[in-house]
Amino acid sequence: MQITVTPDTFRLARVFTISRGSRTEAKVLTVRAEHEGATGWGECVPYARYGESLDSVTAQIEGFSGRWCDLQEELPAGAARNAIDCALWDHAAKWKGKPVWELAGLSAPGPEITAYTLSLDTPEAMRAQAAENAHRPLLKIKLGTPDDMPRLEAVRAGAPKARIIVDANEGWTAEVYTDLAPHLVRLGVELVEQPLPAGQDDMLAEIERPLPVCADESCHDRASLPGLKGKYDVVNIKLDKTGGLTEALALREAALAEGYKVMVGCMVGSSLAMAPALLVAQGAMVTDLDGPLLLAEDRDPPMTFDVAGIHPAPAALWG
């Protein structure tokens, strides 16, 4: 199997800000797996929060032996393994003439309603964003600052009928979360992601959780599950964390067996990154695969988003 990797950049439709910073473009790595006349594609988004960079992940990919049977042992969970794993699944589908969902023993996928993320901004600007997107059934708000309540109130005023989830991006303390939680419930928030920093979240097992708390930075793969017990109600599965579709499907099965609900999320990437994630998102409590909606440009062909949600990828894209 010949594995090649190239960098790609996609302009964002607008500046995207979270508590850690802002960006105007999505920088991704595209992997191609070529063998016996078939080419599979995969995409990953190296993430500095996990010690990754475009250069470090490229080096990991270029150092891979090319043997799928060795991938899970040869590379750790993370962006590099994700892009290769998804490219190899796509190659297998093209080579065998069967869709990935069938090869993986899954049911045929359908569309899933996805959250749409509002960029962190002033309360006034976030109210305007919310009003502009009030037709969307599920909005996600990036929080994690000292001024979160005015922002949350503004979003609810701008989109009074939308379902809302919030992502604190590790930005709160236990005291801040305890203070905010009743207001989150009052404003109809359905879920809060990663309120406390990973590694400093033991207090979640001791304080009241009046709404579901989802582990994001605290959950990467199946090895993360023992450390979540008693602290979280939901796990956010992202392929760039699990290291690909193979581990993501295994994590979903293990998490559900242990009583967790599942959210399937993404980094800011193209439709090529969302395509395998949608297979994991079937029937999830929350699907958050809005990466392409945040872009000014996408892969060709792109995935389809409409009132039914995000639809399975066309075969010409992936799978």
User: Residue 242: which H helix or E strand, with range?
Assistant: helix 239-242
Task: Given the residues 94, 140, 231, 238, select the one marked as catalytic.
Answer: 238
Query: Is 82 in contact with 240 (CB distance < 8 Å)?
Result: yes
Active site residue 142: yes
Closest CA to 168 of 213, 125, 204: 213
Residue 268's φ and ψ, nearest 5 degrees, are -80, 100
Closest CA to 246 of 36, 111, 73, 94: 73
Residue type, 103: L
Q: Give the C-alpha distances (Å, rounded to integers) separating 73 from 64, 83, 223, 240, 247.
A: 11, 15, 14, 16, 12
What DSSP assignment string belongs to 29-71? EEEEEEETTEEEEEEE---GGGT--HHHHHHHHHT--S-GGGH
Task: Given the residues 140, 142, 231, 241, select the one marked as catalytic.
Answer: 142
In sequence order, the 6+-apart residues with CB closer than 8 A to the CB of 271 are 291, 292, 298, 299, 301, 302, 303, 313, 317
In sequence order, the 6+-apart residues with CB closer than 8 A to the CB of 270 are 8, 10, 26, 28, 43, 291, 292, 295, 298, 299, 302
Task: Classify the phi-psi angles of 92: left when phi > 0, otherwise alpha if psi is within -120 to 50, otherwise beta.
Answer: alpha
Active site residue 27: no
Residue entry with tokens 């979160």: 148
Q: Among all residues, which ones are annotated catalytic? A: 142, 238
